[in-house]
Structure 1
């Protein structure tokens, strides 16, 4: 069903190509009022497409299209399978359906009848994150439970922008869950959300233009054409390094500068120099930028076939008869802990199924972000995780609490979480398995081999290394033997000598500032020791209610 209206003259028609921004808006109880307030204040020519995902009774027709058409001059459509999303149009989910988007086209499926917490908002927002990346905008309005939290996390991880309704929500559980998870950029009333969307729509970061923080490149010289832009970016790198002890010049510049552009968009800035001035002495914004740069894309049992491969090929070797020493696993860049907990569950399941002698398990999970380590250590996750872990694991390894599910104490007791810089701190040693998934893809190629050399050093003879499915050994292929090429499982070659290489100590430094300082001799830690957790910064409210 589509409400016919006079076509809107879009002042932003230049963004009508395949990469224009798309806004996913989720709501449940109290959602109609929030939708109405938002759309009634939203300009009709933002150049964005809008998809509304409301929790609807599966057996009753929805009047949303008719009701919302009275609040906006934009055409309002009932979402249809294989319907292409157009700018300045609104699409509304239909009852008893699950909605996704791929290449700008809506995909409808009959909703799973399995009882449990609805995840229709998460499902759409996760697909939107994959489809639009930095041009995905996610909004969670009034509603009960926690649907939408995982979806907003996915959007923010891809460089998109996230918003949630403030305490004006008739039902606050859904927006509160997202804010508590640390994945919301702006917490506003629906009217203010509309105003923010109108402002963001014209910003170069979400418009169909080059991200503002990336220096223009001369096609002939392949060098930055604006030295002042490069200098301002260098100043930002130095400010962040002094604040966090992390040298982000070792990370891929395109990825990091997209994150800088994202923060600039949230502040309405288009000049890198202005943002560099904002950062000076601004601890809350430095903390938020650092958190953005430390990309944390994770979930329970991510790539399930990888865990099945571990049970088939790696765990049998680790549980071979006669082994009495503790099984040691290291998960660097663990983010909020899902990977570490997934490995603990998988090892427990295998050990019980094998029926052999139990082997003590020690998992060391580390990350640069102190706030993410705190989340991981607490082990409390939103209700939507039920779809990730399954009902049996949920019953076995979790305890239901207000606000979600917490990992059982005995499983948490097998994991030690700590803040650790993989590129400059001494590694943990004598590891049987290291799961370092989706870290290499964010690092400059010159850093990857020294890092893999460090991981080779950290493993026991014939230990195992697990990388992300998009990663490879590259120049470090002589250090590891491929065990499973598809799932990126490797074994340590014992014929190659191990040596400790800390990539950040020997790699390039920014010309615009002093080199990162090595830890003083008194603070040097021995490989395998547990570093002390150090806070990166403090949380506080800031300009325009930037939440994180």
Structure 2
């Protein structure tokens, strides 16, 4: 029969405790703090201002040198009552604790525990802060808070962006309070900072977030038939945002609205939604901030890199197969945010085209509802952290290194047109080959998605492609798009029999709404000068018509009726003079203006023929005059006048003796026409010859200049790359040195305090101590040494050999050498010339790393001890003389009953030798003959109680002496002079007495 072995299950109590810990870890907020150069004072001020009971965990990541041990935990521990721990592998976070990253490691967070990995020496910028904040945003969405303090570079910008996109709150140190403001400014310029405060202000804001009540946000389901008060508050809130930002957030995803709204309510200390709506009404700047928070700008270069593979392998080859050479490739990126997406697509497109990129027309349109994000995208300036997403080859080819990071090359920026557009309500672009709308639909509700996808279908060319995010689909619009790549969410436009219904609601820009239309209409001169008005009327009626143009031949002002000479052309509107000139006038205009440009102040051409609409050809005089706007103006202006000539008079004809008006003969008319054509041909040839010569000269100069510029550019680019590499390395080293310097300054302060304590300790010690080096030069001495050896501050650095010491130390140098060489202490008694005695002690001087570097000489006054010893010796001599003169046997015993001394009569009476007596226990004298029971009783029992005893009778049989009767007198004495206990024992032989 088989036995079933059941696996032991953990107890319910144990499972409950583990669950509580997990829930606790998932509940408390985690604050990631990044700092670099100059960050130590900011960290200290921040921790000093933080209360110890926020319920938050604080993790500090600072750029530290991997080659030196960090004292940062100890420095910060003195500024807060919270425990400050150095992070280690697998350490679980706990609220109200501070964790500091150790030097030389990369710190990340996963499932509430810290993880350390080896940090490689950076070739470019450091990303330690970005790495941790990114893992914090992923591990604790909604509970993560990011703080960037003083530092150089841009580390931390991407980390704050990740925290903000995950629903967290971000802070940056106010630049004026930071020793180095590049890191805070980089985050601020990227638009990923919610609050810019001083370190103390950041601490106060964190405390408010910790103790503020949670938001009571309740949004009913869309199907609610009776909207309650929260729904009315939300409707009012959306109305405020719509009037301020021009964007209607009504149908955005509820989860996004609730998360962002909850953050703003926390920061404004609003407990209910109604309170927050009232706060919005009073603070317009909060409406702007909330609108920016709801417009989530989360993007990066080559986000989800695998999504770009089907573009290179399938989309671009399909779109450029048998494509007409003059047809432009059109790309649209709605919701472009700060532009990384559109630039990434263009880089992939240019890499695919290769050498054909120069001959291919590309039109890229990027739109967004945020003017701030569009301004950033137009500039194309991004932090150095993009090097983690963009390969070095692409950085070299498509970017320009600047002081603040990387800027997209101008040739790439010129391909993009950035415009403000609400994709939901504004009219779209058309005839698009590719639309990339990644991670935009996830923030829109179903209502908005149903409106946006038909717009994309309308905007695409037949067979055009639509690229969505990895978490997005076309949903109910499957009849409009066919799936091409399921994994990368690539779709293609379907040909449909019905046209999707589109509805566009034009909304005036927010900036224009606040401007009064009637006020704009009133922007006219208040009064007109009558004299100037009269001149205008006379010139308009009797003066020749004309125009004022600039160097680009753009018409700036019309004077009079110029319709017979100028007319707009079909196509795109243009005010170019040559494009508007009627037939026959452009050549003469170009020639006259060219002559004025070459130095003539006035050029006049007569009998110029101009073709009209109905009148046929007419003759005019053409005049071009040079105008100057002001004496300092660089651009020149020209006045072009058209003077109408009257028709030539009719030629009289004679027939039959009568005179009548008639026309010219056909032969004369033909001759004039030929002559006119020859003149025009000659002028045209001359003009073309001049233009060709100037063009050839200019082309040659441009070619030479281009070659020189190209050569210089290659050299400068190579030099610039080397300098940039060196600059990055120096910057990284400088950050580490700055941090190390701050730690050294704090260490110096501690050493200064220790030095003060040591000086006070040495000053209070009443011992003459001198520290000397191996060369006997004095380094330091105590105040007592000044009085004993006669030293002064002027003796520091001088050798002991040069000083007249008040005592004779002939072997001092040899003794110090023996101490430092053999590590054996030296001690000797010396006597000063004034008669005082001292104990000279020499000890080796060891450094903290156990190296010998001199000796320590100590002089301890033993004058009183010396005199006491002399007195003791004298007293001992007196006692020995007294014992020697005693006629009766006499013994002096110590506390252990050993014989200290004995009288001569004792040796003679009991026939024992001194060598076998002194130092021996009394019971062992004479081979144990003195082991007398009565004597034991006397010394061990009677005498300790009575201190003294007189005439104690003892009888004993000795081997050599026989039977003896003895009277013993004993006394126990003790004192400081003796230093121990003594027993005096006298023996009187009374054997023959009765």
Task: Give the deviation of 1:357 after TM superposition.
Answer: 8.1
Task: Give the deviation of 1:462 after TM superposition.
Answer: 0.7
Conservation of the 8 A alpha-carbon contact between 2:172 and 2:184: yes
Task: Give the deviation of 1:96 after TM superposition.
Answer: 1.9
Instruction: Go from structure 1 to structure 2 and tell me whether the alpha carbon gap of 1:403 and 1:357 turns closer, same or farther (over 3 Å shift).
Output: closer
> What's 2:457 paired with?
456
The answer to whether 1:441 aligns with 2:445 is no
SS at match of 2:451: helix
Please tell me whether Structure 1 or Structure 2 has the larger radius of gyration of its CA atoms.
2
Q: CA RMSD in A?
A: 2.5
> What's 1:189 paired with?
198
> What's 2:264 paired with?
263
Residues of 2 paired with 1:104 and 1:14: CA distance? 9
> What's 1:169 paired with?
178
> What's 2:343 paired with?
341
Residues of 2 paired with 1:107 and 1:456: CA distance? 47
Q: Unaligned regions of 5+ residues in structure 1, if any?
A: 1-12, 206-210, 506-517, 524-531, 538-548
> What's 2:788 paired with?
none
Q: Deviations over 1:346-367 (max 9, x none)?
A: 11111118x6884221110000
Residues of 2 paired with 1:47 and 1:224: CA distance? 41
SS at match of 2:26: coil
Residues of 1 paired with 2:277 and 2:337: CA distance? 27
Task: Give the deviation of 1:274 after TM superposition.
Answer: 2.1
The answer to whether 1:491 aligns with 2:478 is no
Q: Deviations over 1:172-203 (max 9, x none)?
A: 11112112222212222212211211111123
Task: Give the deviation of 1:124 after TM superposition.
Answer: 1.3
Larger mean Cα displacement after TM superposition, 460-469 or 391-400: 391-400
The answer to whether 1:143 aligns with 2:145 is no
Instruction: Go from structure 1 to structure 2 and tell me whether the alpha carbon gap of 1:14 and 1:339 turns closer, same or farther (over 3 Å shift).
Output: closer
Task: Give the deviation of 1:216 after TM superposition.
Answer: 8.0
| Number of matched pairs | 492
Which residues in structure 2 correspond to 1:83-482 (within 5 Å)?
Answer: 83-166=91-174, 167-205=176-214, 211-215=215-219, 227-280=228-281, 282-324=283-325, 325-352=327-354, 358-482=359-483
Instruction: Go from structure 1 to structure 2 and tell me whether the alpha carbon gap of 1:110 and 1:223 turns closer, same or farther (over 3 Å shift).
Output: farther
SS at match of 2:367: strand
Q: Deviations over 1:475-524 (max 9, x none)?
A: 1122211111011111111245443524xx6xxxxxxxxxxxx437xx8x
Conservation of the 8 A alpha-carbon contact between 2:30 and 2:143: yes
Instruction: Go from structure 1 to structure 2 and tell me whether the alpha carbon gap of 1:358 and 1:19 turns closer, same or farther (over 3 Å shift).
Output: farther
Residues of 1 paired with 2:335 and 2:182: CA distance? 30
SS at match of 2:178: coil
Residues of 2 paired with 1:141 and 1:225: CA distance? 49
Instruction: Go from structure 1 to structure 2 and tell me whether the alpha carbon gap of 1:85 and 1:180 turns closer, same or farther (over 3 Å shift).
Output: same
Residues of 1 paired with 2:210 and 2:339: CA distance? 34
Residues of 1 paired with 2:444 and 2:371: CA distance? 20
Task: Give the deviation of 1:243 after TM superposition.
Answer: 1.7
Task: Give the deviation of 1:111 after TM superposition.
Answer: 1.9
Conservation of the 8 A alpha-carbon contact between 1:133 and 1:159: yes
Task: Give the deviation of 1:121 after TM superposition.
Answer: 0.8
Conservation of the 8 A alpha-carbon contact between 2:25 and 2:94: no
Larger mean Cα displacement after TM superposition, 370-379 or 446-455: 446-455
Larger mean Cα displacement after TM superposition, 47-56 or 474-483: 474-483
Larger mean Cα displacement after TM superposition, 14-23 or 72-81: 14-23
Task: Give the deviation of 1:226 after TM superposition.
Answer: 9.2
Conservation of the 8 A alpha-carbon contact between 1:144 and 1:174: yes
SS at match of 1:481: strand
Task: Give the deviation of 1:134 after TM superposition.
Answer: 2.2
Q: Unaligned regions of 5+ residues in structure 2, if any?
A: 1-20, 515-994
Q: Deviations over 1:412-453 (max 9, x none)?
A: 000000000010011111110000111111111232233111
Residues of 2 paired with 1:428 and 1:340: CA distance? 15
Task: Give the deviation of 1:455 after TM superposition.
Answer: 0.7
Instruction: Go from structure 1 to structure 2 and tell me whether the alpha carbon gap of 1:480 and 1:225 turns closer, same or farther (over 3 Å shift).
Output: closer
Conservation of the 8 A alpha-carbon contact between 2:245 and 2:510: no
Match of 2:31 among 23, 37, 41: 23
> What's 1:544 paired with?
none
Match of 1:42 among 21, 36, 50: 50
Greater percentage in strand: 2
Task: Give the deviation of 1:224 after TM superposition.
Answer: 11
Residues of 2 paired with 1:97 and 1:500: CA distance? 58
Higher relative contact order (CA 8 A, sep 6+): 1
Conservation of the 8 A alpha-carbon contact between 1:287 and 1:536: no
Larger mean Cα displacement after TM superposition, 223-232 or 35-44: 223-232
Task: Give the deviation of 1:273 after TM superposition.
Answer: 1.8
Task: Give the deviation of 1:536 after TM superposition.
Answer: 10
Residues of 2 paired with 1:93 and 1:395: CA distance? 34
Conservation of the 8 A alpha-carbon contact between 1:482 and 1:491: yes
TM-score, structure 1 as length reference: 0.84
Instruction: Go from structure 1 to structure 2 and tell me whether the alpha carbon gap of 1:534 and 1:306 turns closer, same or farther (over 3 Å shift).
Output: farther
